[in-house]
Structure 1
């Protein structure tokens, strides 16, 4: 029996005469393959007690059948399955039933997803080939496959247009051995060939689009990448094709893309049959890389040390000028953007990350976020086999309020030798250790269990010791991550970490059908207990705990040091705490501990500030000096201005240099005086720009107009109206906020002194015997 294997690119379904048809495009060693699974049914569930009424409600409705099952709802009611020959028919049936007061469950699960998840298929598919019809294989069998190396064909694209988006200038392609630009505006027979650039002259926009689409068919990429490639490049190409009455047939089957826009949002999604469009911006964020700005210029400079060939606020005008006067130069610029995206993907392993995440979650390769969907994809098939159907969103009600993580009151001050002990993946390890699970809760609630058959949680929750699901899911992920780390597979390791740590957030989210405050509070309140009792144990060893935050404890070696090596102290405390928890959980709960404490960081010098205007210690804000991997001192900040992108570069650089000097015993008084003088003299003007994103449309800021919105309105008055999601750069002037691009008033230097420098300085200077106002006043007296 021949069995072939492929990596899942896209999934879809359509209603056909013979029933629901599911379509799957795969990347295989032999090229792309399309599977079509026919004669399928869409399914949802309803109470068995509603079956008699069901027949009356659907007596004029066709294409359905009902079957009694041995499944229960979360509160123990028996259910039956309602099967429909088409998804449209199911939606119509569900509406009729809802109007009649009959509840259905899992009607929102997409047919293709259900088919895959119930077979435990995520991304790697094994199939037994069957007959081929119209390019689609009708497989005899489909099942999950072992992970194999399948090289995906990737093509980076980028377009250039006029500033108003009405005119297409050029389309660049890079990848699969091609470095090519299609340029509008030259004669048909004109062709430029250079060493690293194939410049194809096109006599018209229509010809440019035709040649681009032909190249897509010939190169046949699995993955199309770019920077804002969906929201701009592909969307604009769709518009240009519509204007030229050209079919935008990007699909491998010759179909046009399907577009979807979020309500009240400018965010767009695209479905291309057999191909996946991956946006670099989305993937960089999903992989938790952080940049001051996610513009291609900023990210490429930070990651590659190389930027765009044209940068700056007048880039649009320069592009238009090059289109009119120097098309080869514009082609180089266009292609460079493609190359930067390809290089960023390679340097940050973004494609590997996306593939690893798809293999873990079963979600489409281009699905960004989707923690709830990932949880349900893994959980639903196991839940069905455990004898339950999933509840509907918002169905589970409770008056319990689940708290967040435990944040300890800090002891402010300046310290030498502070150790950070961190519970590795605390919430997942709590789920594993204490068997916390929605299904386990339902089993314990609906069954007749003895005391020794349950584990008590919080808020009157308790969990069955047998039959739970989530602890096992996390245990497998945990083992997979350990293996990935051992194999130095960073993308896979990080993808597992993100998914595993998201499971608590999912259970604690009202956007999840399994949300139950009794379940999620059993996680967070257990976390509170673990941090508090760990603090007590550490203090019993003679050390002070000066702060704790959710899964970390900050331990001051302090007077108890007595010549001890802080690194050795940290390692001994972690080992001892792990042993104590293993013994405690076994003795108190008769369970095995999955808690794992790690000695994470040694701060040689550490500063915990006070809350501004108070003597109380702050939370989630601190700074310190560590020794990095190169053996050099490195300054680390948490929650302070140097890591906040909404503060000016002046404040962030000032804080970094100030703390460095103070931690190393260097003089700061004259340096501060000189800096303030430079500020007032205009030397630091380029560091005074505020930068903030518009979270709403400009016209939606009716009741409140913060500074960046005021600046945005002034931009609009100058004909440069920013859109939702755009960054607004502005100064504070003597006449209020003014955009950087159109500022006419003098800068209000006193504002920057009072609102940017002084708050930074006053947080730490008093601990060293200085007063910022005293230093500044002394300078003024000398003027």
Structure 2
């Protein structure tokens, strides 16, 4: 088909990006979804680049010549390193020569700057394009998409709105060897299970309309490719979808000698492995694979277990019917041979649960917005360092600098963590919590903390803002404070519009910038940068504490950005709120005046009155009279409803039993409401000893290493796992716990044993000592009681 030129720009969202060598040079390839269709945008004849220090140019040329690397050019640039050394850019026509040259020069100890920036990423970054792009070029209509050749690209207009993104949930069912039984697909408009079979069912069964029968595995695999071609989804979602489903599918396509033509243009995807781990990535041209587990972790969700069963139960209140992995696999196998309808329903339900989790958590919106804000790929896991680089590097280049390499900012200095005050233990009435809003980002904004700003500050120290460890920051040459301020303003808008996904994405990005500067995995790492943030945070909390105590109140605890204030026992809710708001205004005004006087800067610090605990417990370290840190409980009223809040205590920890959690909740509730506790404690002990609470005695812990790697320290859950697998081996069953995973076990008189193979009585005395007594003695001393005094006579009856 003849090409025609597009002179009016077309805008869309970048789904995937790649680079490859062609005869003419490097071609950049971007698959873009617009409001009307999908475009394959091709930018030809690009060059890859890294930088060298100019004084090494002759050495570089000699080294490359000796290895026959000839397709390059070197050019002097108006750029310099942070050490003020002039640099040359070394440009390559082909990626293969770029990588060869980089290896040659590094082998000879010649530093190559910014040699880890991928060509397709740099092209976008230097044009300030994140995920929303506008382009023109020669258009060629192909099967299902339009190819754009000789494209020119720029950022999309600010009023560009996201197009509809087509998403489908994918899940496979197979036997233990990976041989496929079925492939399930679920979206709002399409639900289907491709199932191996001929539809020959017992008379009493009728196949649901969503089942499509396939004669064999080859037909099943072909049906999936046909689906991708016909329905053409933009996003494939699933649960461990890359680590399991896609890898199994790849093996089965290979086994059946069928191309896994998952790319948008009908070509096959490309697997690659992380150089620093065993993690595999699947690059698909024109489609994005989003894993639910990775997405939730990136969005800062936390669960005791990221199994689909647990997450769907927690978020949706629904889940699978079978919990034991071994039984589930056997049920899948049995159903395939004897009840294919049940298997199809199970397969489709897994797809539906993933879809509902994505809807509930707005994971797709979160991923798209994160890409829009930072330029990260939609499916990028983590990526805080890359996000910072994308936003910062082009600004740095325009200011005349290139970025340092990893390790350039290393020094013997150590940056401290957040400041945690010594607590004053006790059972209190009326404790207020005041939080500094986004403390670390606000410190960056206030004190102009910035990598280039520190370089420029050292060049003009007389006019700079003094920090710690000799660091100085320029008052006018910096970028990070403005980046933070822009994100902050966007988040305020998102909050007003109740856009939870955007607000969360911005919050994570802003808060990650301190971590980036304090991470030796970032090219801008320098302890003076991170120390300028955390040490200032220490000063702010200590000074704020003093100001509050000068007002006659007692600060009983503080942690990183929060201060806990006891205002006395007599205040009612209205008085407590008034005091909180008064302190909020007073502290903010104090900081405005203090920073203006000391540094001649405007304060972006903002403390907020956040919580009023009507009753509050700051416990002691077990067995001492020293106050704990990061552990407390309190009673609050939110939206007219009373709520018991636990932080760091047994009730919110995954390594304590349900017995301990339930016991703690009820005991604290009674103490906080000044109710009698003795009888409740005695009844709980009695029921435990009588075996009435056995279902609450289960420990659930993760095996974080291979079982054989536990050598010196062998904790109870490892002992239980080894004991269970010894039985599995003896009975000729597969070993269940050798390669990490979760285990459930109880403590018996013969040691820890799994539920499945328990053959010894439960050690109730141990549970009472380690679980009930440990919980009770965290609060009872504050009301003049102890667990031993309450239970002494009763426990003698059981001894």
TM-score (norm 2): 0.94
Moved more, 192-201 or 745-754: 192-201
Residue 358 of structure 1 is matched in structure 2 by 371
Residue 518 of structure 1 is matched in structure 2 by 528
Residue 663 of structure 2 is matched in structure 1 by 654
Residue 101 of structure 2 is matched in structure 1 by 93
Q: State whether structure 2 residue 387 is matched by structure 1 residue 370.
A: no
What is the CA–CA distance in structure 2 between the aligned matches of 1:259 and 1:689, rounded to whole Å?
41
The answer on whether the counterparts of 2:273 and 2:281 sit within 8 Å (CA) in structure 1 is yes
Moved more, 538-547 or 716-725: 716-725
What is the CA–CA distance in structure 2 between the aligned matches of 1:498 and 1:179, rounded to whole Å?
34
The answer on whether the counterparts of 1:192 and 1:199 sit within 8 Å (CA) in structure 2 is no
What is the CA–CA distance in structure 2 between the aligned matches of 1:723 and 1:242, rounded to whole Å?
29
Gaps of 5+ in 1: none
Q: State whether structure 2 residue 781 is matched by structure 1 residue 766.
A: yes
Match of 2:124 among 111, 116, 120: 116
Q: Equivalent residue of 2:259, what SS?
A: coil
Q: Equivalent residue of 2:614, what SS?
A: strand
Aligned residues: 778
**Matches for 1:412-423 after TM superposition, within 5 Å:** 412-423=425-436
Q: State whether structure 2 residue 149 is matched by structure 1 residue 141.
A: no
Deviations 1:315-351 (A, max 9, x none): 2222222212211121111111111111111111111
Deviations 1:578-603 (A, max 9, x none): 11111111111110110011111110
Residue 735 of structure 1 is matched in structure 2 by 750
What is the CA–CA distance in structure 2 between the aligned matches of 1:652 and 1:419, rounded to whole Å?
25
Residue 3 of structure 2 is matched in structure 1 by none
What is the CA–CA distance in structure 2 between the aligned matches of 1:750 and 1:242, rounded to whole Å?
57
**Could you say if the C-alpha distance between residues 759 and 119 of structure 1 is closer, same or farther in structure 2, counting changes exceeding 3 Å?**
same
Residue 8 of structure 2 is matched in structure 1 by 2
Q: State whether structure 2 residue 264 is matched by structure 1 residue 255.
A: no
Give 1:201 deviation, angstroms: 1.4
Q: State whether structure 2 residue 360 is matched by structure 1 residue 344.
A: no
Residue 185 of structure 1 is matched in structure 2 by 197
Residue 72 of structure 2 is matched in structure 1 by 64
What is the CA–CA distance in structure 2 between the aligned matches of 1:139 and 1:20, rounded to whole Å?
12
Give 1:660 deviation, angstroms: 1.0
Match of 1:685 among 691, 694, 699: 694
What is the CA–CA distance in structure 1 between the aligned matches of 2:316 and 2:560, rounded to whole Å?
35
Moved more, 719-728 or 605-614: 719-728
Match of 2:650 among 636, 641, 657: 641
Match of 2:27 among 11, 21, 25: 21
Give 1:273 deviation, angstroms: 1.0
Q: What CA RMSD, in Å, does the superposition of the two structures yield over aligned residues? A: 2.1
**Matches for 1:143-542 after TM superposition, within 5 Å:** 143-145=154-156, 146=158, 147-162=160-175, 164-175=176-187, 177-186=189-198, 197-262=209-274, 267-313=279-325, 314-445=327-458, 447=459, 449=460, 451=462, 453-542=463-552
The answer on whether the counterparts of 1:297 and 1:308 sit within 8 Å (CA) in structure 2 is yes
Give 1:132 deviation, angstroms: 3.5
The answer on whether the counterparts of 2:405 and 2:523 sit within 8 Å (CA) in structure 1 is yes
Residue 51 of structure 1 is matched in structure 2 by 57
The answer on whether the counterparts of 1:542 and 1:560 sit within 8 Å (CA) in structure 2 is no
Gaps of 5+ in 2: 1-6, 729-733
Residue 619 of structure 2 is matched in structure 1 by 609
Residue 79 of structure 1 is matched in structure 2 by 87
What is the CA–CA distance in structure 2 between the aligned matches of 1:96 and 1:67, rounded to whole Å?
19
What is the CA–CA distance in structure 2 between the aligned matches of 1:279 and 1:105, rounded to whole Å?
33
Moved more, 229-238 or 473-482: 229-238
**Matches for 1:562-641 after TM superposition, within 5 Å:** 565-629=575-639, 631-641=640-650
What is the CA–CA distance in structure 1 between the aligned matches of 2:449 and 2:419, rounded to whole Å?
19
**Could you say if the C-alpha distance between residues 430 and 550 of structure 1 is closer, same or farther in structure 2, counting changes exceeding 3 Å?**
same
Q: Equivalent residue of 1:142, what SS?
A: strand
Moved more, 292-301 or 510-519: 292-301
TM-score (norm 1): 0.96
What is the CA–CA distance in structure 1 between the aligned matches of 2:582 and 2:711, rounded to whole Å?
58
Residue 731 of structure 2 is matched in structure 1 by none
Deviations 1:373-423 (A, max 9, x none): 111111111111111111111122322111111100000000011000000
Give 1:131 deviation, angstroms: 4.5
